Amino acid sequence: MIYYKTEEEIELIRESCLLVCKALAHVGSIIKPGISGEQIDREAEQLIRDHKAEPGFKGYRGFPATLCVSKNEGVVHGIPSKEEFKDGDIVSVDCGVLLNEFYGDSAFTFAIGEVATDVMQLLRVTNTALYKGIEKAVDGKRIGDIGFAIQDFCERKHKYGVVRELVGHGIGRHLHEAPEVPNYGKKGRGPKMREGLVIAIEPMINLGRKEITQSNDGWTIVTKDGKASAHYEHTIVVRKQKPELLSDHSAIEEAIAKNPDVNEVPVILSESVTLR
């Protein structure tokens, strides 16, 4: 069942999402070669708890950490480890928060140091695709319109692999609610969206093929061909005229701009979208 949110509920979800982005911004300010996934996880958890909230992922179906930290060929659900990040790594960080009985969710992929040119292009395309999908989340359109926009841009225009098995989702009192929001699809297909629907849109795009596999830790999803993968996510609410972002990556981008060890990943200007 799809749950549409009241304006009061939407504001509570926004508070949770903004705290998620505050945690991701802190990660963006400290991530660099020599720091580990365990360290950024520990700091993110402390920040979240200092704001009287709970990590949304820790303990969820047994997941052991606050952040999902997925490096290079890691797609999603990576467990933070003691292994230190190196120059040239890309690190996808996904974070959830539970505050005032509502969840927030967002993700960002950080590019550390001298990242290969083709990998940086993957990040730019994936970040752009996020906003192309969001643009379609308006009253009267269908879920398939979101997936088509992302797939058309990433797969057809740029020849990247669009992960099929992992999708976006509704969010509210539960971390994962209906409907599922795939990053592929056909225009005019799927559930019709109405104002008040809150969903997390999260392109997971591979530099190579779309196929994925699960690591031996039982959580980390990696690309089958070992090539890099990128992941960006916003929580948004469907509106009549244009969608409204509940998460905000601007604080993350500002933190990156001040961190000499992390590259900025702008939306591609020649393919820019109106909604940021």
Q: What is the pLDDT along the chain (276 residues), one digit of tens a residue?
A: 999 999 999 999 999 999 999 999 999 999 999 999 999 999 999 999 999 999 999 999 999 999 999 999 999 999 999 999 999 999 999 999 999 999 999 999 999 999 999 999 999 999 999 999 999 999 999 999 999 999 999 999 999 999 999 999 999 999 999 999 999 999 999 999 999 999 999 999 999 999 999 999 999 999 999 999 999 999 999 999 999 999 999 999 999 999 999 999 988 755 555 565
* Cis peptide bond prior to 179, omega within 30° of 0: yes
92 CB-side CA count, 13 A = 33
184 and 164 Cβ atoms separated by less than 8 Å? yes
Q: Measuring CA to CA, which residue among 188, 187, 196 is closest to residue 239?
A: 196
pTM (predicted TM-score): 0.97
What is d(CA 234, CA 223) in angstroms, rounded to the nearest whole number?
Answer: 22
Q: Is the torsion defined by CA of 242, 106, 44, 24 positive or negative?
A: negative
pLDDT per residue over 226-271, tens digit each? 999 999 999 999 999 999 999 999 999 999 999 999 999 988 755 5
Compute the distance between CA of residue 155 and CA of residue 181 in angstroms, rounded to an integer: 17
- The domain made up of 7-271 has a fold known as Creatine Amidinohydrolase (3.90.230)
Hey, what are 4's tokens? Answer: 């549409």
218 neighbors 41 (Cβ within 8 angstroms):
no
Find the DSSP H helices in the chain.
Answer: 7-30, 37-50, 117-135, 143-151, 250-258
Nearest to 78 by CA among 225, 236, 212: 212
What residues does each domain of the chain span? Answer: 7-271
Contact 172, 10 (CB under 8 A): no
Q: Nearest Cα to 233, choosing from 50, 30, 51, 20?
A: 20
- Look-up: residue for tokens 């969206």? 193
